Amino acid sequence: MESNPWKIKSEKNIYDNPWINLTEYQVVNPNGGDGIYGKVHFKNTAIGIMVLDDQLNTYLVGQFRFPLNAYSWEIPEGGCPLGTDPLLSGKRELLEETGLLAAQWDYLFAMHLSNSVSDEKAIVYLARTLTQSVAEPEDTEKLTIKKVPFFEAVKMVENGEISDSMSVAAIFKIQVLLAQGKLL
């Protein structure tokens, strides 16, 4: 493993809210020059839930994303406070956003999002053996739920209708597992 070539000369807290913290660093870069670096620290782990029913349908959540100023189709997603059980947060988010309960949960993968400027980590699960209940969206969410055949979701990624990174990664991961005969 490589050692850290960056040297921190000083750091300053620039912004803080309940979800993120922004720190500015005065640094010596790997080539010895003075520089500046900003890091966004996330106070939650991002959680994604890839839903797959017995007929190979999945559930997508549509909502307007303020930072993008655009509507987005995604797998169900939410946040898990650091230091808490991500699977419990995944179960909560699935019920909250879709009204679905799942009897079978499998860990799919973890990934880092925008690792050039943030420490945000994502964990994605596969939820199966589903029961419909009542959705409980947060007051900040105006959601549309869409049940689609899984391979329609793949096409939505391919044509750019789904661009959320966790959703793209989860859909392609399931496509690979299905092609390898590792699901069903």
20-65 pLDDT per residue, tens? 999 999 999 999 999 999 999 999 999 999 999 999 999 999 999 9
139-153 pLDDT per residue, tens? 777 899 999 999 999
44-179: CATH, from 3.90.79.10, 3.30.70.1060, 3.10.450.30, 3.30.413.10: 3.90.79.10
60-85 pLDDT per residue, tens? 999 999 999 999 999 999 999 999 99
- Among 172, 152, 164, 54, smallest CA distance to 109 is for 172
pLDDT greater than 70 at residue 156: yes
Q: Which long-range contacts (CB under 8 A, 24 or more apart) does 86-91 make?
A: 86/45, 86/47, 86/123, 87/125, 89/45, 89/47, 90/47, 90/48, 90/49, 90/123, 90/125, 90/127
Q: Is the pTM of this model over 0.85?
A: yes
Q: For residue 139, what pLDDT is reported?
A: 78
Which two tokens mark 130?
């589903």
Q: For residue 184, what pLDDT is reported?
A: 64
70-123 pLDDT per residue, tens? 999 999 999 999 999 999 999 999 999 999 999 999 999 999 999 999 999 999
What are the residues whose beta carbons fall under 8 Å from the beta carbon of 36, sequence distance 6 or more? Answer: 24, 25, 26, 27
Question: How would you label 17-56 residue by residue, b for 16+ Cβ within 10 Å and e otherwise?
Answer: eeeebbeebebeeeeeeeeeeeebebebbbbbbbbbbeee
pLDDT greater than 90 at residue 1: no
CB atoms within 10 A of CB 119: 13
CA distances from 172 to 15, 55, 147, 156, 158 (A): 35, 18, 18, 11, 10
pLDDT greater than 90 at residue 154: yes
